[in-house]
Each structure stands twice: as C-alpha cells, then as structure tokens.
Chain A
Amino acid sequence: MENVLVLENVKKAFGALKVTDDVSLTVPRGQALGIIGPNGAGKSTLFNLITGNILPDAGRVVLMGQDVTRAPAMKRVRMGVGRSFQIPQPFGGMTVFENLLTAAAFGRGLPEGQVSEDCADILLRIGLLPRANQLAGSLSLLDRKRLELGRAMATAPHLLLLDEIAGGLTEAECHALTDTIRALHGEGITIIWIEHVLHALNAVVERLLVLDFGRVIGLGAPDAIMASKEVREIYLGIEA
C-alpha cells in the first residue's frame, strides 16, 4: 500500500459545467502535493470528491488501496482522511476544545476519555491552548484557521487535505502556520494543499499540480511547474 490516494479518470459536472474533467492522480505515502489554479478551476470540488462530500459521475477514487468511490464521507474520515475547509466551519456553539474532542472521538472512533489528552497536545501545538474553553464562534480569523487545522489533525489523518489555509493571514501568521504544516509533513503525514499563497506552498510541497477548467494542465516539481510557459500564461496571467 504505497499510494495513499489514487484518482482514476474522475469526472464531475454540475449541469453543463465540467468542474472535474477526467482527472487522474497518484499520491504516494508521505508526499506533500500542492494544488494551484485560478478561481473556479475546480480545486475545492476535487477535495470534495476525495472526502466524499460529493460523489463523482465517473471514474474511481482509491484510498489506502481501497475503492471508496461511493463510500460516504464519514467512512473516509475513519480511514484517515482529514480536511480543513476554505471558509472556516467551526462548531460555533462549542468550545475550541470540544471542537477537537468531537473530531477525535468520532474521526478515530474512540471514547472521549482516550483522546482528550491528545486534543490538549494538538491545541498546544497550534497555539490555541489558551483559548481551549472559549466558544469557537468567538474566534478571530487566524484562530479559526488554526482551529480548522487542529480539528483535521484531531481525526489522526494519514492524508491531510488543506484548503487555502494560509489565505487572508499576515506574513507572520502565515509563517507560523506553515511551520506547523511542515512539521506534520515531517512526521510522515501525506498532505494535499490547495493554496494561492505560493511562497508558503512552495516551502512545503514536493510536487505541484495545476488545475484549470477542471483539467490537470501541469504536474511536476514546483520549480519546473512555475517556470513552464503554459502555467505562467494561464495561472499567473502573464503574457509570454
């Protein structure tokens, strides 16, 4: 089981709009893959297809060697897929700690008592320990982003999907978050990261995928991808 994720000719259309157009992708264990592309390129949809929030029209999704194409999101979380949302979706009426506790208890299928210390460790790591007993709905944007990361970590993922987690943060905030993500990667967690903040992304990922109109238009080492003419034209809008 070397490949954590395999997508085979995955297709998804909303009406006439092909948001995912014949995407194939293999992510080996332990790799960090970045995904870039203009707004509306189908990046978040690709995540939803991997997590099971959306089911594909055609193609296959294989996680940890198991075909999960029709499996519900819940089952995939238990298999080790953790995700953060582009727009933070905290459980606003619960405390920060309870947000993590819920994710850990249900994501791992363990009793609360067995995961609470681990949740405290994660809070320490992402810098939210001082806010542990505060309602998640009252957090600032940075803390909401941290909570997104922490809640995904709490499910003990093998594969971590990060959706524009650095967007909207200041330089210093972005730096701290990137350090945490790099450390997670160092622990062997496979990461797929959608991001517009390229310097943050390129500090972590080993491979870059470029998506446009639902199609893969580039996949390779970040340097090579960023240098390619096609990517510069389509993604950065630079006339070559």
Chain B
Amino acid sequence: MQAHVTTRTRASTIAAFAAIALILIGFALPAFASRVMIQDMFFILTMLMLAQLWNLIAGYGGMVSVGQQAFVGIGAYAMFGGVLIWGWDPVAAIILGGFAALALSVPMAFFAFRLHGAYFAIGTWVVAEVTRLLVAQWRALGGGTGTSLPRHVTANIWGVDWVADLFDVRQAAARDILAYWLALALCILTIGAIYWLLRSRTGLALAAVRDNDEAARSVGVDARRVKWMVFLAAGFMTGLVGALIYMQTARISPDAAFSVTTWTAYVIFIVVIGGIGRLEGPILGVLVFWGLQSAFADYGSWYLFALGVIAIVVMIFAPRGLWGLVADRTGLALFPVQRRLILPER
C-alpha cells in the first residue's frame, strides 16, 4: 500500500523555528540581563535538565527512581575531587562528574532492576543514602561538613577572564555567565538527545516496555537492554548537571549535594505538574515551579506545604499535568514523537 509515516505537525514546525530563536536569544542574554536574572535562568535550566532526565526514565521508561540525588551528588563530588585533588580546571572536571555518575548507575541498576514498582523507588533511594554516607567519610573533600572551591581556582576557571572582559563585569558575575552558557548548551543537548532517542527505534521499544513489559518481549523487544541503556544515559547526564550546579555554587556538602528534597522531590513535582511522559511537560512545570519559588519561598515550611497541596490538586484534576490539559484541549504537540500513518487521498 502507498502510505507514508510522519511525526511532524504544523505546531511542531512553528515550535522548531521558535526554539531556534529562543536559543539565539538565550546565548545573547548576558549582554542585557541582570546578574540575578542570569542566576535565575541557571536555576531554571539545571532544574529543567534534571526534570527531563527523570521524565525520561520514569515517564518514558516506567522506572520511578527516588534516587536521582545520588547522581547529582556523586557528579558534584567527583568534580570537586578533580579540582581539589588532581588540580583539574572546574569546567573540565564536569566531565568527571558525568563518568562518576555513570559508574554509580551500574551497581544501582544492577540492584534496583531486581525490584519493581514501589520497591524499585525505595531501592534507588537506599543506594543514594548509602552513597551520601560514604561520601561524607571522604576527608579530603571535607567529610560531613563539606568544602569550597578555593578563590584562586574559581578566579581562574577557563574563559572567566574572557567573559569578564567581554561584558565588562567582575569575575564572580563572569563565572555566573559562564555557568549559564554551559547550562544552556547542556540543556539543548539534553532535550535534543532525548527527543532524538524518542523518535528513534529505541523510542518505540521504550514506549512498548513502559506500556506492557511482557507484550514488548513477545514482539521481540529486548526490554532489559532498553532499560539499562536509558538508566545509564540518564545517570551520566544527571552527573554532568550535578557537577555543573556545584561548579556555579563553588561550595559543597553531602547533605546539600545528596538532598532528596532538592534533587528528586522538586524534580518529580516539576514533571508531575507539567505533565509526565512528554517533553513539553517539564518545560511548563519548571516555569510554574520557578514562579512559585520566587513568590513564596520566603514562607518557609508553608511554601513546602503549598507545593504539596498544588501537586495533589493537579494529580486529581489533571492527572497528565498542565501540559496534558493543553494537549487534550488542542491536540498541540511541540515535540511530537507519535508516528502517524498518512494515506494517499482516494
């Protein structure tokens, strides 16, 4: 039969052009934005990456991990180790963070893949806690109290002088700009890679495994291999993001770097609010989260209470998130992955 297959929609074509424009504006932003805005953007971009990566393994892969803070923490600590012990440049040491997280994700997957559902979630959390306790024994990096990147290191990060000259700002501000640019580049890479993956053959396999593991095996999908692949890739990328976050803050402690609240609970909140299992969800979710945080973070525990209530309300009234509401009403998909069969007119 004459037929062809497409994933493209008119909205996605427009979205592609809008994305290019946004990326260009994004890179030019430091020329006209304040330092606070650059820091906010850094926060948004890094949380967005963590959310996209969690969405990849939980929303697409069906693996609900509550241990992503392990990868953030180990990535950050490996970066600090690279700088403080081996004298690497912090930017170069970010890559160490990725590989350290990758190395950790192998035993975590080996352990957690034997568990299912809630047990899987708890298993990942346990691994993260064990890692935190082990890292807190690492005396060279400050043990339980943590440590900072020394001033002579942060002042001499690759490219900081150049950025300081370019925008005529002080070194601390230049470091923020550099971190922001790295976050933007890494974010484009992350979303691009996930989108490419979902549109590839592996994307079909992943969706099939998520929907029905047994049926997927029965049509020849290697479910184990797909899960391993996605889990390791997400671990590696999460480690890079963790290292980048702590390059920007330049101060680390086990409790902060391995915080289940910051690196997993907030991340899950973002994905659930925005819409799980779709690329648009975390983008919308992180904007909502950032808005709530800037407006209410001063209210302390009331803020956390409010986040919980909002999450519950959204889960009840919009189980597929805010973007799910939009998509159901309008059929809009900015990053379409669905393969539609188009038949010739008859």
Binding partners A and B: yes
Contact of A109 with B338 at beta-carbon distance under 8 Å, contacts A85-B215, A98-B207, A116-B5 already known:
no
Closest 7 CB pairs of A and B: A77-B220, A103-B219, A91-B211, A106-B220, A89-B215, A107-B220, A120-B3
* Smallest beta-carbon distance B345→chain A, Å: 14
B218 at the interface (CB under 8 A from A): yes
A93 within 8 A of B: yes
Knowing A93-B207, A121-B1, say if A133 contacts B217 (CB, 8 Å).
no
A103: nearest chain-B partner, CB-CB? B219
| A91-B212, A133-B341 as given contacts; A102 in contact with B204, CB under 8 Å | yes
Q: Which residues of A contact B214 (CB under 8 A)?
A: 53, 89
Q: Answer yes or no: B8 CB below 8 A from chain A CBs.
A: no
Contact of B208 among A53, A77, A91 (CB under 8 A): A91
Task: Say whether B204 contacts A120, CB under 8 Å.
Answer: no
List which B178-225 residues lie within 8 A (CB) of chain A: 201, 204-205, 207-208, 210-212, 214-222
Complex CA gap A108/B219 in Å reads 9
Q: Is the CB of B211 within 8 A of A92?
A: yes
Contact in complex: B343, A51 (CB < 8 Å): no
Question: Would you give 12 A-B contacts (Cβ < 8 Å), ordered by A?
Answer: A51-B218, A85-B215, A89-B215, A90-B211, A102-B221, A106-B204, A107-B219, A108-B220, A112-B201, A117-B1, A120-B341, A132-B343
Mark A70-87 against chain B: 1 for CB-CB distance below 8 A, else 0: 001110011000010100
Judge whether B139 is part of the interface by a CB distance below 8 angstroms. Answer: no
Residues of B within 8 A of A103 (CB): 219-220
B contact residues, total (Cβ < 8 Å): 28
Contact among B4, B218, B343 for A53, CB-based, below 8 A: B218
Q: Are B5 and A112 in contact (CB under 8 A)?
A: yes
Considering the complex, give the chain A residue whose CB is closest to the CB of B200: A112
B3 contact set on A, CB distance < 8 A: 116-117, 120
Of the listed residues A93, A119, A154, the one surrounded by the most CB atoms of chain B closer than 10 A to its CB is A93
Main DSSP-derived SS at the B contact region: mixed
B201 with A105: CB separation less than 8 A: yes
Given the known interface contacts A106-B219, A155-B219, the answer about A90 and B212 at a Cβ–Cβ threshold of 8 Å is yes
Question: When chains A and B are docked, how far (Å) is the Cα of A97 from the Cα of B339?
Answer: 8
CB neighbors of B among A87-146 (8 A): 89-95, 97-98, 101-103, 105-109, 111-113, 116-117, 119-121, 123-124, 129, 132-133
With contact pairs A93-B210, A94-B207, A111-B201 given, residues A133 and B221 touching in the complex (Cβ less than 8 Å): no
Tell me, in angstroms, the Cα distance from A112 to B214 when the chains sit together: 21
Q: How far is the CB of A142 from chain B (nearest CB, A)?
A: 18
In whole Å, how far is A187's beta carbon from the nearest beta carbon of chain B?
A: 17
The chain A residues found within 8 Å of chain B, CB to CB, are 51, 53, 72-74, 77-78, 83, 85, 89-95, 97-98, 101-103, 105-109, 111-113, 116-117, 119-121, 123-124, 129, 132-133, 151, 154-155
Determine whether the beta carbon of B1 is less than 8 Å from that of A124: yes
Q: B217, A74: Cβ atoms under 8 Å?
A: yes
Of the candidates B205, B208, B277, B340, the one whose C-beta lies within 8 Å of that of A97 is B340
- Chain B positions within 8 Å of A, measured between CB atoms, are 1-5, 201, 204-205, 207-208, 210-212, 214-222, 277, 338-341, 343
Q: Number of contacts between A and B (CB, 8 Å)?
A: 110
Contact B5 A102 (CB under 8 A): no
Further pairs besides A95-B339, A97-B5: 7, Cβ < 8 Å: A74-B222, A89-B212, A91-B216, A94-B204, A108-B220, A120-B343, A123-B341
Contact B207 A97 (CB under 8 A): no
Contacts of B340 in A (CB 8 A): 95, 97, 132-133
Most buried by B among A51, A94, A116, A155: A94
- Whether the Cβ atoms of B5 and A77 lie closer than 8 Å is no
B residues less than 8 Å from A133 (CB atoms) = 338, 340-341
With A94-B211, A120-B1, A121-B1 already in contact, the answer to whether A155 and B341 are too (CB < 8 A) is: no
CB-CB < 8 A to A74: which residues of B?
217, 220-222
Interchain CB contact under 8 A, A95 and B212: no
Contact of B204 with A101 in the complex, beta carbons under 8 Å: yes
A94-B208 in contact given A106-B219, A133-B340 (Cβ < 8 Å): yes
Choose one: B1, B215, B222, B339; the contact of A91 (CB below 8 Å). B215
Bound-complex Cα distance A94 to B277 (A): 12
- Nearest B residue to A112 via CB reads B201
Q: In the complex the two chains form, what is the Cα distance from A90 to B211 in whole Å?
A: 8
Residues of B within 8 A of A101 (CB): 5, 204, 339
Cβ B220 vs Cβ A91 within 8 A: no
Taking the nearest CB of chain A, how far is it from the CB of B112, in angstroms?
Answer: 21
A39 to chain B, nearest CB (A): 21
Complex contacts, B211 vs chain A, CB 8 Å:
90-94
CB proximity of B203 to chain A, nearest CB, Å: 10
Q: Is the CB of A78 within 8 A of B220?
A: yes
A154 to B277, CA, bound (A): 26
The CA of A74 and the CA of B214, in the complex, are separated in Å by 11
**Contacting pair A106 B1 (CB below 8 A):** no
- In the assembly, what is the distance between CA of A74 and CA of B208, in Å? 14
